[in-house]
Amino acid sequence: MERKMPTYKIEGAEFIVDTGKYELREVGNPANTISFHDMIDTGSYYSFQFDKKENKMLTPFKPITQDTVTVRVPQLVELDPIGMAEKYGLSVADLNGKSDFDIMINSKLLNERKNGILPTIRIAGHEFIIDLRLSELRPIDDFSTRIDLNKVDVSRDGEKFLCFYHVPSKKVVDIAPTITKLPKDVVMLEIPNELVLDPVGVARRNGLSDEAFVRRFPIQKHLEAKVVPLSETGLPGLVRKNKDKLAKQKKTGKSVKRKNGKKQ
């Protein structure tokens, strides 16, 4: 049976507390949502400007009116302790005395990163150091090669880096558009975007505090790139297309030779 989510009232308007989506959603008007990511987290409560006429968070650049009020919303550990405990694999008792930030962020990993320990990611069985300062991933035990993030493709949604990768050499490879067979020991990689790889590194590069992105993109201990076999990519179709094209060219060539070989 699905758990009934708690609700919270703001200026008379009732909102569902959706811990899974990290948002407040107006009862009877599900299109009206307020993300906790857009609120100011003071450590003991959330704060934001609220338009009580429209029951919405005041958007940037929208002028403050007589209908605008500053509201305080309790932390999720208070609003929905059961939901927070379930989401982060804790008991409700584990939440005592802790803020949302304490629960959501692995403080040990954050402190290690602040002290200069770079994060790592596992790629096709090998561990790579994530170095966004140089925009590269390099094998932890082999500095002769690297994956240059500036030279790989990005998915349409911007969520992943995409590249073809030769596993034995740990190198990114280019695939010729004229291939007639799948290259050996090559796979396609889906690597998380920079905010997932190293939120602290992205923050520093943009002159922000180390904690600027870690709430939305928590530091992860066991990052791993998705390895996609070439058989599950568009390359088999390209191989078939190229083979068919070559076969037609050969057939056309033989036909021309026979025609030219006839006596006049």
Structural domain boundaries of the chain?
7-100, 107-234
What pLDDT is stored for residue 255 in this prediction? 60
- Its sign, for the CA torsion 14, 95, 75, 195, is negative
pLDDT band at residue 76 under the 50/70/90 scheme = very high
**Bigger pLDDT: 88 or 24?**
24
**Half-sphere exposure of residue 118: CA atoms within 13 angstroms, side-chain side:** 17
Looking at the chain, the whole-number percentage of residues with pLDDT higher than 90 is 80
The mean pLDDT of 195-203, rounded to a whole number, is 96
Cross-strand pairs, 9:
14
Predicted TM-score (pTM) above 0.85: no
**How far are the Cα atoms of 169, 227, 236, 238 from residue 231, in angstroms, in the given order?**
20, 12, 6, 11
The mean pLDDT of 56-77, rounded to a whole number, is 92
Which strands make up the sheet holding 7-10, listed edge to edge? 7-10, 13-18, 23-26, 33-35
What pLDDT is stored for residue 257 in this prediction? 59
**Bigger pLDDT: 55 or 256?**
55
What pLDDT is stored for residue 94 in this prediction? 92
How many other CB atoms are found less than 10 A from the CB of residue 184? Answer: 9
**Which conformational region is residue 158 in: left (phi greater than 0), alpha (psi within -120 to 50 degrees), or beta?**
left
- Its sign, for the CA torsion 125, 131, 136, 139, is negative
